[in-house]
């Protein structure tokens, strides 16, 4: 199996083999250059490098541009724009911010070479409110214009250049995806009934009875019922033979002897079946 990995030489470090990439990932993860989410995690560094290399990023660019959010690899918006603008299929990307206040809307036009019209994506304050983002603590409160711009950019670039981004969603968009809230525990205020125990089988009841009986007559009564239980399907022949042997063992251990108990007949029955 080949150990080569996909890499792009862009005037920087080129990692030709898996071993090269892993050694580099270990070194970076232990250094100050590692992003917070990759520090001390060489395996995560390696996967980020590989994922970035598949869209044309160098190893260091991959570590700075690829982020794992909610278990999914994503790319920061500026890196997505850089990849698209560096691609031969991109004619232009033009971004504007129209309106003021509640009427504000970010517009991104992305023109693919050979296409008659650009792809246009708009993300407005109204869109942000509908998605529950407007006024949300964090970047949406601190940099609302920038967040509108990045959301419009992500939509336009993914629609116009899916082959360049290879399905990567912008990290800014992925961070806004809501994660399912854990279901709160239900407090039970009424006593919970103990589940009914399944009824013991005929075999289990017979085994318990043999262990408890005190007389030979009681053992013999159990023995006489064995064939009836086999006939009505309550016992298998193997269970009957086990019970017959248990009856013999119990009779042999009883103090009053076995002279009134036909132990030979039980033994013969057990051996015959």
User: In this predicted model, what pLDDT tens digit does every residue of 42-62 receive, in sequence order?
Assistant: 888 888 888 888 888 888 888
Structure tokens at 6: 């996909």
At 273 the three-state DSSP class reads: coil
137: Cα separation from own chain's centroid: 28
Shared domain for 62 and 6, answered yes or no, is yes
pTM of the model: 0.57
CA distance 107 to 52: 27
Determine, yes or no, domain membership for 171: no
Determine, yes or no, domain membership for 174: no
The total number of structural domains in the chain stands at 3
Residues of the domain holding 1? 1-69
Shared domain for 65 and 92, answered yes or no, is no
β-pairing, 169-170 with 90-98?
Answer: unpaired
Q: Which residue has the tokens 């994660």?
A: 179
Query: What percent of the chain is predicted at pLDDT more than 90?
Result: 29
Determine, yes or no, domain membership for 221: yes
CA distance 272 to 55: 78
Shared domain for 159 and 92, answered yes or no, is yes
pLDDT at 6: 45
CA torsion angle 159 160 163 165 (round to 10):
-70
Residues 107-144: pLDDT tens digits?
A: 999 999 999 999 999 999 999 999 899 988 888 999 99
pLDDT at 69: 84
User: Among the three residues 117, 145, 166, which one is the final residue of a domain in this structure?
Assistant: 166
Shared domain for 58 and 122, answered yes or no, is no
Determine, yes or no, domain membership for 212: yes
């Amino acid at each position: 199996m080949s150990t080569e990995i996909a890499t792009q030489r862009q005037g920087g470090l080129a990692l030709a083999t898996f071993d090269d990439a892993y050694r580099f990932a270990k070194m970076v993860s232990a250094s100050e250059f590692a992003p917070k989410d990759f520090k001390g995690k060489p395996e995560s560094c390696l996967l980020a490098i590989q994922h970035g290399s598949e869209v044309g990023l160098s190893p260091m660019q991959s570590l700075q541009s690829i982020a794992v959010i909610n278990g999914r690899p994503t790319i920061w918006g500026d890196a997505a724009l850089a990849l698209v603008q560096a691609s031969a299929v991109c004619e232009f990307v033009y971004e504007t911010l129209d309106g003021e206040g509640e009427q504000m809307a970010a517009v991104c036009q992305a023109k693919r070479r050979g296409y008659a019209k650009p792809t246009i994506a708009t993300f407005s304050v109204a869109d942000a409110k509908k998605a529950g983002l407007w006024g949300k603590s964090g970047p949406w409160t601190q940099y609302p214009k920038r967040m509108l711009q990045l959301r419009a950019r992500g939509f336009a670039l993914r629609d116009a250049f899916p082959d360049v981004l290879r399905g990567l969603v912008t990290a800014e968009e992925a961070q806004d995806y809501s994660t399912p809230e854990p279901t709160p525990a239900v407090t039970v205020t009424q006593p919970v009934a103990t589940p009914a125990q399944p009824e013991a089988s005929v075999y289990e009841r017979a085994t318990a009875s043999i262990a408890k009986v005190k007389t030979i007559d009681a053992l013999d009564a159990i023995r006489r019922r064995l064939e009836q239980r086999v006939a009505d399907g309550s016992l298998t022949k193997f269970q009957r033979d086990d019970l017959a042997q248990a009856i013999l063992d119990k009779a042999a251990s009883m103090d009053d002897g076995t002279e009134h108990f036909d132990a030979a007949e039980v033994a013969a029955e057990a051996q015959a079946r």
